Amino acid sequence: MHKKSYQSVLGSYSCFVICCTQAFVVIVVVLTTSVVVIFYVCLLPHKMAESLGWTIYHFIIGHWLLVNIVFHYFKAAFTDPGKPPPVSQTVVEPLHWDYP
């Protein structure tokens, strides 16, 4: 009886984790997209009016950061975590130092 209730709790917890994971991916995509839209709508026109050099600087640095953020987020979100290595059963002997 306890085993069945334990499995149902794990099943509902697993469903909750999957739903949260998908929600967090959507939230990150929406927030990153909003930052890019704000950059193009608000910051870029003001910097373009000031000087072309600063516009090119912000454009290059901003897109370099955007590519890094997107790449590393998706690599972290979709990479299999793997398994820990198997535990070896060998016994390690302590080192004995022979001092003269």
Looking at the domain assignment, is residue 96 inside a domain?
no
Q: Is 90 exposed, middle or buried (0-12, 13-18, 19+ CB in 10 A)?
A: exposed
* Phi and psi angles of residue 32, each rounded to the nearest 5 degrees, phi first: -65, -40
Q: Is 97 exposed, middle or buried (0-12, 13-18, 19+ CB in 10 A)?
A: exposed
Amino acid residing at 19? C
Looking at the domain assignment, is residue 89 inside a domain?
no
Distance CA 60, CA 72 (A): 18
Looking at the domain assignment, is residue 85 inside a domain?
no
Looking at the domain assignment, is residue 93 inside a domain?
no
Residue 58: give the domain boundaries: 2-78
Looking at the domain assignment, is residue 7 inside a domain?
yes
* Phi and psi angles of residue 96, each rounded to the nearest 5 degrees, phi first: -115, 120
Looking at the domain assignment, is residue 43 inside a domain?
yes
Looking at the domain assignment, is residue 64 inside a domain?
yes
Show pLDDT as tens, one digit a residue, over the chain (100 residues): 455 665 666 667 777 877 888 888 899 899 999 988 998 898 888 888 888 888 888 889 989 999 999 899 888 888 887 777 777 777 777 777 776 6
Looking at the domain assignment, is residue 91 inside a domain?
no
Stated pTM of the model? 0.60
The count of structural domains within the chain is 1
Q: Count the neighbouring beta carbons within 10 Å of the beta carbon of residue 94.
A: 4
